[in-house]
Structure 1
């Protein structure tokens, strides 16, 4: 029947190897019992395989499919969707797509900023986005947005500077002022290779400038204060310990003091043993004692 084929079929590859395909139920397809099935193949030499992970709506109807471990390799993929409803087959839908054209590029990687006050300027560097089929850095061009962050104390509004069609993996920001705070974000697109012509995802903004330097200085001052306080506490503890251990000095013993009971017993046993050694005949009698 006319109008039962799916509509608005769209596929997107993201995060290098994942792909989602979605569609809408045909306008004249019978309501709740209409069902669709997706088949695809990644090259002309392969056989069609059915989707293994369908996306469903509230009525349980298939309205999409999730794929993983998808490789692009400059190939064209074929998609076929058929279905049925009320005991009748729906119209067949089929299309062919160049996979690189539907890839959503990941953000550029490892964005760093290195600023110098003399001469004033910042070098922004990054690495290309991750893909499964492009290895050449020259296959990408970039858009950079640098924002001069707002300063409420000085009533300065946020201003931005945008640079497009940047090739290579670095950019010199010459309008840098050490007294201001900035943020930078970057995204990529095709530069004449088998890459999607749509702009990819933005990188996480990286901040640099006055606010970053101030926060670093404050942290260092706090760290130095903590270390100094710890050192003073340690020295005080050592001083108290030494004072306690040297407070009481034992006095020399008086050689003419009276014998205590313990001293008497030790002396008596010493004399007896000496007598036993020197007087052999009395040895047995001493042992009896």
Structure 2
């Protein structure tokens, strides 16, 4: 009996040691993932593992979009992460991490929902780069937004950048933020993408946040109008030349797309516009059949692959007036005046010369009389008698 008790006591002592000292071991079917979290601004899913994992991947599913998968990366403190920069999260999302651990497949799912009330988030969001170095973004309050809703815009250039809140808000008549002006865009690169995130606050209502797919910077620019437009007639055609506008990004000239609006004066039907790709030296020849017609020209330009047109240039008038045109009468008058001008000048010069000679002659007679009178005076006689 004593031997049996000692054997049982020895078994109690040895059992914890055989389990590695853990009185509460994890079940074999427990997920190896810990601390699964989503940063909705950076669209980054992060987590840690409690044991070795292989063949892992992560994916996201959002309403109306196909599933997107990627391979996790490891960062500081053995934290794994996946980023989904093109995902739109404000409509909700389902994120999954899959892998193999100890020979068994596992899956962990995180369901994400927008905590704001539907219809309170900002709507009609858009951004535009202009004058090479400035950018404006604008939006409108959501249709279900309360009167005290206030919105805030955050922007960054890549997933590795820290988001920055707008510094120069544009407000409406109720002081609600409805836009943002950026006056420091930094040095441009053709690979620039802009990321935006708009959230809001209200005393009584949770405001939806709104996020977007990345804005491709080269497609956001509104160009200045074409510059230095000239029209020259070579005897048979009018030759139109112009310079490409100064733009923010270093792009080839053929990526520019021009519209020329050429209209004839005198009640002619409206002409269809002319479209032309950019060149290093831009030239357009007006057809010879239209060379003598009085015409006007205005132009605008955009990037070939977007729809953001520049403003129109001021109208440029050109053409050779036809016979009977009031302009020809004016030219004839100018020719007559130019021909008569030398004769008029000669007449005035001759008349002026005669007047001067007459005045000099009269002045000479007066001086002669004064000299004779002086000689006949007593003083004069004394001077001459000596």
TM superposition score normalised by structure 1: 0.73
Pairing partner for 2:217 from 94, 99, 123: 99
What pairs with 1:46-195 in structure 2 (closer than 5 Å)? 46-70=161-185, 72-74=188-190, 75-95=192-212, 96-117=214-235, 120-150=236-266, 156-168=267-279, 169-191=282-304
1:47 shift after superposition? 2.6
SS in 2 for 1:30: coil
Tell me, which stretches of 5 or more residues in structure 1 are unaligned? 151-155, 272-289
- Answer whether contact 2:254 2:277 (CA < 8 A) is retained: no
1:22 shift after superposition? 1.1
Tell me, which stretches of 5 or more residues in structure 2 are unaligned? 1-116
* Deviation sequence 1:124-151 (CA, Å, 0-9, x none): 111112211135322223222221112x
Residues 209 and 29 (structure 1 numbering): CA distance in 2 closer, same or farther, change over 3 Å? Answer: same
Residues 177 and 78 (structure 1 numbering): CA distance in 2 closer, same or farther, change over 3 Å? Answer: closer
- Answer whether contact 2:222 2:302 (CA < 8 A) is retained: no
Residues 103 and 231 (structure 1 numbering): CA distance in 2 closer, same or farther, change over 3 Å? Answer: farther
* Deviation sequence 1:97-130 (CA, Å, 0-9, x none): 112212122211111111133xx21111111122
1:232 shift after superposition? 5.2
Residues 107 and 263 (structure 1 numbering): CA distance in 2 closer, same or farther, change over 3 Å? Answer: same
Residues 67 and 241 (structure 1 numbering): CA distance in 2 closer, same or farther, change over 3 Å? Answer: farther
1:171 shift after superposition? 1.2
Distance in 1 separating the partners of 2:225 and 2:350: 53
Pairing partner for 1:247 from 348, 362, 372: 362
Residues 238 and 15 (structure 1 numbering): CA distance in 2 closer, same or farther, change over 3 Å? Answer: farther
Distance in 1 separating the partners of 2:318 and 2:200: 55
Report what 2:376 is aligned to.
Answer: 257
1:201 shift after superposition? 2.9
* Deviation sequence 1:196-229 (CA, Å, 0-9, x none): 4544333222110135994894795598489656
Residues 97 and 167 (structure 1 numbering): CA distance in 2 closer, same or farther, change over 3 Å? Answer: closer
1:254 shift after superposition? 7.5
Residues 62 and 221 (structure 1 numbering): CA distance in 2 closer, same or farther, change over 3 Å? Answer: farther
Distance in 1 separating the partners of 2:333 and 2:132: 39
Distance in 2 separating the partners of 1:222 and 1:70: 61
Distance in 2 separating the partners of 1:49 and 1:188: 32
Q: CA RMSD in A?
A: 3.5
TM superposition score normalised by structure 2: 0.56
- Answer whether contact 1:100 1:196 (CA < 8 A) is retained: no
Residues 177 and 247 (structure 1 numbering): CA distance in 2 closer, same or farther, change over 3 Å? Answer: farther
The number of residue pairs the alignment matches comes to: 256
Distance in 2 separating the partners of 1:165 and 1:258: 98
Distance in 2 separating the partners of 1:100 and 1:6: 24
1:61 shift after superposition? 0.8
Report what 2:142 is aligned to.
Answer: 26
1:41 shift after superposition? 2.2
Residues 86 and 158 (structure 1 numbering): CA distance in 2 closer, same or farther, change over 3 Å? Answer: same
Higher relative contact order (CA 8 A, sep 6+): 1
SS in 2 for 1:202: coil
Pairing partner for 1:200 from 310, 315, 332: 310
1:246 shift after superposition? 2.6
